[in-house]
């Protein structure tokens, strides 16, 4: 009988949400009666393959303790200066759980579809290689450049056949990711997602197509659309 791999989820939730220009950190803004973080955690709790969830929160966070969450499954760790530092702290905090795989998902992506997460896990476990949810770029992509006077102008059009937006979750073998992240950060590499650490370390990363409405809540204009879509998701199975 084959044993199931042990999968632990990490949720980076220690940011200040500066681009949201809100006094409340964006992961604690309420939409449809729940905080963004609660929506995100509820989605992860729907995925049966996930055995535990570690949430990286700011040392100054006094919101998390007010949430009504399942503390049997969900625990916290102090995050770090950058997102990658928070993820690395969480990786250290889950070591004693002996995870085989780790699934990292932004607190600020509450619209993720549980089916997409299950598909990511299934495809990566079958291939024995890590991967990320990604959305194919649909618009024409331009690279800008500054001109002598103010404003930016088009420098060139980027061929988009193989361009993707990296989403989360990002799903990797635990030891490989932890070592890659440690080494990449120590080398001063610019790490904005887990995949960039794995790429830096030379590991293959699969692109698994996910829904494009799994966007990261970042600026005030994102809230209205997120609220609308969450209301739709209440009535649909996602």
Ligand X SMILES: C[C@](O)(CO)[C@H](O)COP(=O)(O)O
Ligand Y SMILES: Nc1ccn([C@@H]2O[C@H](COP(=O)(O)OP(=O)(O)OP(=O)(O)O)[C@@H](O)[C@H]2O)c(=O)n1
Q: ∠ at Cα 83 (78, 87), nearest 5°?
A: 60
CA-based torsion, 229, 230, 232, 233: positive or negative: positive
Which two three-digit tokens encode residue 96?
């004693």
Distance from the Cα of residue 6 to its chain's centroid: 19
C-beta of 76 vs 168, nearer to ligand X: 168
Counting contacts by CB under 6 A, is residue 163 touching ligand Y? no
Binding of ligand Y by 197 (CB under 6 A): no
**Residue 106 sits in the site that holds ligand X (CB under 6 A):** yes
User: How far apart, in whole angstroms, are the C-alpha atoms of residue 31 and residue 224?
Assistant: 9
190 forms part of the interface with ligand X (CB under 6 A): no
User: Which of ligand X, ligand Y, none sits in contact with 76, Cβ below 5 to 8 A by type?
Assistant: none
3-state SS of 100-163 is CEEEECCCCCCCCCHHHHHHHHHHHHHHCCCEEEEEECCCCEEEEEECCCCCEEEEEEECCCCC
| Beta carbon of residue 55, minimum distance to ligand Y (angstroms, whole number) | 9
What token pair was written down for 23? Answer: 């006094």
Considering only the stretches 12-20, 120-128, 154-162, 183-191, report the one whose residues sit in contact with ligand Y under the rule CB under 6 A: 12-20
Of 207-236, binders to ligand Y (CB under 6 A) are 216, 218
First to last CA, the chain: 31
Output 6 or 176, the one with its CB closest to ligand X.
176
The site partner of 14 among ligand X, ligand Y, none (C-beta below 5 to 8 Å per kind) is ligand Y
Q: Which of 34, 115, 206, 216 binds ligand X (CB under 6 A)?
A: 216
The residues that bridge with 166 in the sheet, in sequence order, are 134
55-84 residues in contact with ligand X (CB under 6 A) are 83
Work out which of 7, 9, 14, 167 binds ligand Y, going by CB under 6 A.
14
83 touches ligand Y by CB under 6 A: yes
Q: Does position 206 bind ligand Y by CB under 6 A?
A: no
131 binds, among ligand Y, ligand X, none (CB under 5 to 8 A by kind): none
* Chain contacts with ligand Y (rule: CB under 6 A): 12-19, 27, 56, 79-83, 86, 106-108, 216, 218
């Amino acid at each position: 009988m084959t044993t199931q791999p042990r999968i632990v989820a990490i949720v980076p939730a220690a940011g200040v949400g500066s681009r949201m220009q809100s006094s409340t950190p964006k992961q604690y803004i309420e939409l449809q009666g729940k905080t963004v973080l609660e929506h995100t955690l509820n989605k992860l709790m729907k995925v049966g393959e996930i055995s535990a969830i570690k949430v990286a929160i700011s040392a100054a966070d006094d919101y998390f303790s007010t949430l009504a969450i399942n503390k049997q499954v969900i625990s916290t760790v102090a995050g770090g200066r950058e997102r990658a530092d928070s993820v690395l702290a969480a990786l250290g905090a889950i070591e004693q759980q002996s995870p085989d795989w780790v699934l990292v998902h932004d607190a600020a992506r509450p619209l993720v579809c549980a089916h997409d997460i299950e598909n990511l896990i299934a495809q990566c476990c079958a291939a024995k290689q890590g991967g990320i949810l990604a959305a194919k770029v649909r618009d024409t992509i331009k690279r800008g450049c500054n001109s002598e006077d103010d404003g930016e102008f088009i420098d060139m059009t980027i061929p988009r056949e193989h361009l993707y937006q990296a989403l989360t979750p990002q799903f990797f073998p635990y030891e490989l990711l932890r070592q890659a992240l440690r080494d990449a950060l120590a080398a001063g590499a610019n790490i904005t997602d887990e995949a960039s650490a794995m790429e830096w370390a030379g590991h293959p990363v699969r692109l698994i197509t996910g829904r494009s409405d799994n966007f990261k809540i970042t600026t005030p204009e994102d809230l209205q659309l997120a609220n609308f879509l969450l209301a739709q998701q209440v009535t649909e199975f996602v």
